[in-house]
Amino acid sequence: MSNYFFEVLRPGINTTFQDKGRFHMQHFGVAPGGCMDLKLFSIANALVKNSLNEGVLEFAYQGPLLKLVKGKTKIAITGNVLFQVTKLNQEGINGECNRTYALDEGDQIDILATKQSAYGYMALEGGFDIKPFCKSVSILSRAQIGPNEGQKIKINDKINIRINSKNKKNFLTKVPKKNKSTIRVLKGPQFDYFSKESQKDFFSKEYKISNLTDRMGMRLEGTVMKNIVSTNIRSEGITKGAIQIPADGQPIILLTDYPTIGGYPKIANVTSADYNLLIQKTPGEKIFFELIKLREAEQLYKELLNSISEIIKNIKEIN
Amino acid sequence: MFKKLNNIGDCGIVCDFGEEVNREINSNVIKLFHHVKEEVLKGNLNGILNYTPSYNKLIINFDLEKINSSQIINFLKSVDFSKLNLFQNSKKWTIPVCYDFELDLENMSKKLKINKDEIINIHLNTDFFVYMIGFIPGHPFMGDLDSKLFLNRLKTPRVKIPPGSVGIVEKFCNIYPYESPGGWNIIGRTPTKLFNKENETNPCLLSPGDSVKFKSISKEEFKKLSNE
């Protein structure tokens, strides 16, 4: 293990290590987890020239305040994030997202807030020195699985860094802002459990994101869905983005840290192309659902991946 | 063999084997689960991320960057179930249980009008089949219990159930791998660890399709085994 590390002066609300997730274990009850926003996660790693599946710090709303106690490193923060970089014995400067900063011993990075969004990422050149469990460093805090004993980052934690950075060059890229209130979905396996009127309402009425929203799920408030068949089904495997309707008729969207099996009927499933947009919505925001076909969803996902590649290709050195 | 093959979202497939919960239907789910898992391990199915069996369904999740629904459906349609063997990948387990740690036997005995020892005997003499594992890591759903022991969930679930607690509901038996809330009728506790984070190659003791038989142990034996 290296001797280079950050000290956590303030942990933030929900700060965890994440990569793309832990797979081939859902049949043991282990959800894949992983980064909520694949796009921002990938760009953060690309900026510091890491492999695109390297573990990063993910934070939500208020991020951490970190002090580089030993070593030199380079970081990149992605998202719509308000943060400050404080060089030793100097005033803090407001940081810009989607670019790198070289940090020296004693420097601090203060991630104050995500603006009009939920999640942001901090990648580190060479990566964090953390122990994977079953090939992934993603923390699944609900099951206490992953590095840091499967727990969220706490105050006074030591965060080890793998390499001492020698490279002082900095890089940046442009990430076009995307914001829309319409989330495209596919029909769920129990779509026919709901009355014709409810099916119509689901695709025309607005739904408000409630406070009961975290990495596991997003509860919505809006027009009640009327189940005309059965409010319980036999427990079956869950897929990310499934929109289930429990007996009270209010939708719950199952997110990245979902329970591996569940017994509520699912009216729809969020498309992979719009998942990143959905999870960045914050409580109080309103969304609409639009029904599309499978082929279209597949095509839209390809377009999303292409747009990420394009952003990564456009990473340029700062002169 | 399949009643339905459908996509769930753009990166999942549901293989639906029919509505009932019985071993015959679940055997086919498990056979397919083992087959898909093996094909993935052999590298014949690139892009598959998860395969989750439940009573009557298998959900397959995949990476849309590498494979898509129609390719997986084509693969599934070509599976010859007559060539799949249920037991070649299944294991048999004996799990020790100390019934002195029960929480509900008294009440169950009243409701069922069967004495406590008889309830324990029926449980000990049942050959359980692991239908599925899930909700939380390592948590097994096993069946089938004699219909004489048919009970619903507790009206008010407990806030905390000790780890290793063995519970029953309807024709199913479970084991709580961690301390957690729960509504099952608790008849005992096992010292056996169902999910071991220290064991990276094989963290989960049981697998869907395995068989389980319980063995009664004393409090002293429970203590001894817990410390191992």
CATH number at residue A248: 2.40.100.10
Query: Rounded to the nearest 5°, which phi and psi values hold at A274?
Result: -105, 0
Does residue A318 form part of some domain? Answer: no
Q: How many CB atoms lie within 10 A of CB A307?
A: 14
* Percent of chain B scoring above 70 in pLDDT: 100
* Percent of chain A scoring above 90 in pLDDT: 92
Contact in structure between A300 and A273 (CB atoms under 8 Å):
yes
Q: Are residues B65 and B161 in the same domain?
A: no
Residue found under tokens 């005992």:
B188
Q: Are residues B169 and B79 in the same domain?
A: no
What pLDDT is attached to residue A177?
87
Q: Are residues B144 and B122 in the same domain?
A: yes
Q: Are residues A26 and A143 in the same domain?
A: yes
User: Is the Cβ pair B12, A26 closer than 8 Å?
Assistant: no
User: Is the Cβ pair B64, A28 closer than 8 Å?
Assistant: no
Number of domains in chain A: 2
User: Is the Cβ pair B207, A27 closer than 8 Å?
Assistant: yes
What pLDDT is attached to residue B55?
93
What DSSP string runs through B202-213? Answer: --BS--TT-EEE
Contact in structure between B3 and B76 (CB atoms under 8 Å):
no
Domain boundary residue, one of A119, A144, A172: A172
Number of domains in chain B: 2
Interface predicted TM-score (ipTM): 0.95
Q: Which of A28, A294, A305 lies nearest to residue B204, judging by beta carbons?
A: A28
Q: Are residues A214 and A167 in the same domain?
A: no
Contact in structure between B75 and B45 (CB atoms under 8 Å):
yes
Assign A1 a pLDDT band (cuts: 50, 70, 90). Answer: low
Q: Are residues A68 and A188 in the same domain?
A: no
Q: Which of A242, A261, A294 lies nearest to residue B69, judging by beta carbons?
A: A294
What is the nearest CA distance from B5 to chain A, expressed in angstroms?
A: 10
Cα–Cα distance between A153 and B143 in angstroms, integer? 40
Assess A186–B contact: CB distance below 8 Å, yes or no.
Answer: yes
* Percent of chain A scoring above 70 in pLDDT: 100
Report the chain A residue with the minimal C-alpha distance to residue B18.
Answer: A234
Does residue A122 form part of some domain? Answer: yes
Assess A283–B contact: CB distance below 8 Å, yes or no.
Answer: no
Q: Are residues B76 and B100 in the same domain?
A: no
Q: Which of B19, B64, B141 lies nearest to residue A301, judging by beta carbons?
A: B64
In the predicted model, is pLDDT for residue B115 greater than 80?
A: yes
User: Could you report the per-residue pLDDT of B161-195, keeping only the tens digit for each?
Assistant: 999 999 999 999 999 998 888 899 999 999 999 99
Structure tokens at A167: 């490279």
Q: Are residues B101 and B69 in the same domain?
A: no
Assess A33–B contact: CB distance below 8 Å, yes or no.
Answer: no
Contact in structure between A254 and A238 (CB atoms under 8 Å):
yes
Contact in structure between B185 and B119 (CB atoms under 8 Å):
no
Contacts 24+ apart (CB under 8 A), B81-85: B81/B1, B81/B28, B81/B31, B81/B32, B84/B31, B84/B32, B84/B34, B84/B35, B85/B31
Domain boundary residue, one of A152, A172, A192: A172
Contacts of B37 in chain A (CB under 8 A): 24, 27
Domain boundary residue, one of B61, B83, B105: B83
Mean pLDDT of chain B: 94
User: Could you report the per-residue pLDDT of A282-317, keeping only the tens digit for each?
Assistant: 999 999 999 999 999 999 999 999 999 999 999 999
Contacts of B6 in chain A (CB under 8 A): 189
What pLDDT is attached to residue A291?
98
Contact in structure between A44 and B70 (CB atoms under 8 Å):
no
Q: Which domain holds residue A204?
A: 182-308
Q: Are residues B57 and B104 in the same domain?
A: no
Q: Per the omega criterion (within 30 degrees of 0), is the bond before B144 cis?
A: yes
Assign B155 a pLDDT band (cuts: 50, 70, 90). Answer: confident
Q: Are residues B70 and B119 in the same domain?
A: no
What is the nearest CA distance from A107 to chain B, expressed in angstroms?
A: 35
Domain boundary residue, one of B83, B101, B129: B83
A63-89: average pLDDT: 96
The CATH number covering residue B35 comes to 3.30.1360.40
Assign B87 a pLDDT band (cuts: 50, 70, 90). Answer: confident
Q: Are residues A18 and A163 in the same domain?
A: yes
User: Is the Cβ pair A26, B6 closer than 8 Å?
Assistant: no
Q: Are residues A187 and A234 in the same domain?
A: yes
Cα–Cα distance between B207 and B195 in angstroms, integer? 11
Cα–Cα distance between A308 and A52 in angstroms, integer? 11
Q: Are residues A196 and A158 in the same domain?
A: no
Q: Are residues A133 and A232 in the same domain?
A: no
Q: Which of B11, B68, B134 lies nearest to residue A260, judging by beta carbons?
A: B134
Distant-in-sequence, close-in-space partners of A190: CB < 8 Å, separation ≥ 6: A229, A233, A265, A266, A267
Assess A238–B contact: CB distance below 8 Å, yes or no.
Answer: yes
Does residue A314 form part of some domain? Answer: no
Q: Are residues A11 and A149 in the same domain?
A: yes
Report the chain B residue with the minimal C-alpha distance to residue A297.
Answer: B10
B201 or B103: which leads in pLDDT: B103
Structure tokens at A157: 């934690």
Q: Are residues B51 and B106 in the same domain?
A: no
The CATH number covering residue B119 comes to 2.40.100.10
Domain boundary residue, one of B83, B115, B136: B83
Q: Are residues B67 and B111 in the same domain?
A: no
In the predicted model, is pLDDT for residue B15 greater than 70?
A: yes
Q: Are residues B216 and B107 in the same domain?
A: yes
Q: Are residues B99 and B173 in the same domain?
A: yes
Task: Name the burial class of residue B215, with classes exposed (0-12), middle (13-18) and buried (19+) by CB atoms within 10 angstroms of its CB.
Answer: exposed
Contact in structure between A42 and A98 (CB atoms under 8 Å):
no
Nearest to A288 by CA among A200, A172, A228: A200
User: Is the Cβ pair B207, A266 closer than 8 Å?
Assistant: no
Assign B70 a pLDDT band (cuts: 50, 70, 90). Answer: very high
Q: Which of B49, B132, B204 lies nearest to residue A32, judging by beta carbons?
A: B49
A176-199: average pLDDT: 95
Does residue A205 form part of some domain? Answer: yes
Q: Which domain holds residue B143?
A: 92-227
Does residue A222 form part of some domain? Answer: yes
Contact in structure between B133 and B207 (CB atoms under 8 Å):
yes
User: Could you report the per-residue pLDDT of B35-66, keeping only the tens digit for each?
Assistant: 999 999 999 999 999 999 999 999 999 999 99
Q: Are residues A217 and A137 in the same domain?
A: no
Distant-in-sequence, close-in-space partners of A279: CB < 8 Å, separation ≥ 6: A36, A37, A118, A119, A218, A255, A256
A67-94: average pLDDT: 95
Q: Are residues A50 and A74 in the same domain?
A: yes
Domain boundary residue, one of A153, A172, A191: A172
Mean pLDDT of chain A: 96
Contacts of A144 in chain B (CB under 8 A): 197
Q: Are residues A94 and A240 in the same domain?
A: no
What is the nearest CA distance from A284 to chain B, expressed in angstroms?
A: 26
What is the nearest CA distance from A293 to chain B, expressed in angstroms?
A: 9
Contacts of B209 in chain A (CB under 8 A): none
Does residue A25 form part of some domain? Answer: yes
Q: Are residues A133 and A189 in the same domain?
A: no
